[in-house]
Amino acid sequence: MQLTLEFGGGLELLCDSQKIHKVNVDLPNGEDDLTMKHLLTWVRTNLIKERPEMFIKGDTVRPGVLVLVNDCDWELSGQLETTIQEKDVIVFISTLHGG
């Protein structure tokens, strides 16, 4: 499944300072759908190069990270249970505090 993954607000530093990743993610064995839960594991394994605790806490993203599926907060689409479709754009962004 072709997906665009984007990292921002400093999270890109965890994946070689590259913000946009065009990736191909396979469906998990025996499943018909790709959920955000599976995608998070995939990202953790394949894209995060350092300090994974800055991205993941428990089975979800760490506090202070917003997840957007096609420009929409994943809270509105079922969080970890959100089903991902071909060509979706998923953004992981850390909240900023500076001024």
Partner 1 sequence: MEANGGEIVRELKELKLQKAEIEQRISALEAKLHETTAAVERCDAVSNGCSVPTEIEHGLEHGMSPDQIYRYSRQLLLPSFGVEGQSNLLKSSVLVIGAGGLGSPALLYLAACGVGRLGIIDHDVVELNNMHRQVIHTEAFIGHPKVKSAATACRSINSTIKIDEYVEALRTSNALEILSQYDIIVDATDNPPSRYMISDCCVLLGKPLVSGAALGMEGQLTVYNHKGGPCYRCLFPTPPPTTACQRCSDSGVLGVVPGAIGCLQALETIKLASMVGEPLSERMLLFDALSARIRIVKIRGRSAQCTVCGDNSSFNKQQFKDFDYEEFTQFPLSADPLNLLPAESRISSKEFKEILQKKERHVLLDVRPSHHYKIVSLPDSLNIPLANLEARLNELTSALKEKEYGCVNTGSSTNASLYVVCRRGNDSQRAVQYLRDWGFSSAKDIIGGLEAWTADVNPNFPSY
Cβ of residue 30: shortest distance to partner 1, in angstroms? Answer: 32
Minimum distance between the CB of residue 46 and partner 1, rounded to whole angstroms? 22
Q: What is the CA radius of gyration of the chain?
A: 13
Of the chain, the end-to-end C-alpha distance in Å amounts to 39
Lookup result for tokens 């806490």: 57
Q: Which of residues 35-94 bind partner 1 (CB under 8 A)?
A: 53-54, 62-66, 68, 71-73, 75-76, 91, 93-94
Cβ closer to partner 1: 27 or 96? 96
Binders in 3-42 for partner 1, by CB under 8 A: 8-10, 19
Q: Give least dist CB 19 to partner 1, A.
A: 7
Give the H/E segment covering residue 46.
helix 36-46
Rounded-to-integer distance, Cα 19 and Cα 17, Å: 6
Dist CA 35 CA 81 (whole Å): 6
Contact footprint for partner 1 (CB under 8 A) = 8-10, 19, 53-54, 62-66, 68, 71-73, 75-76, 91, 93-99
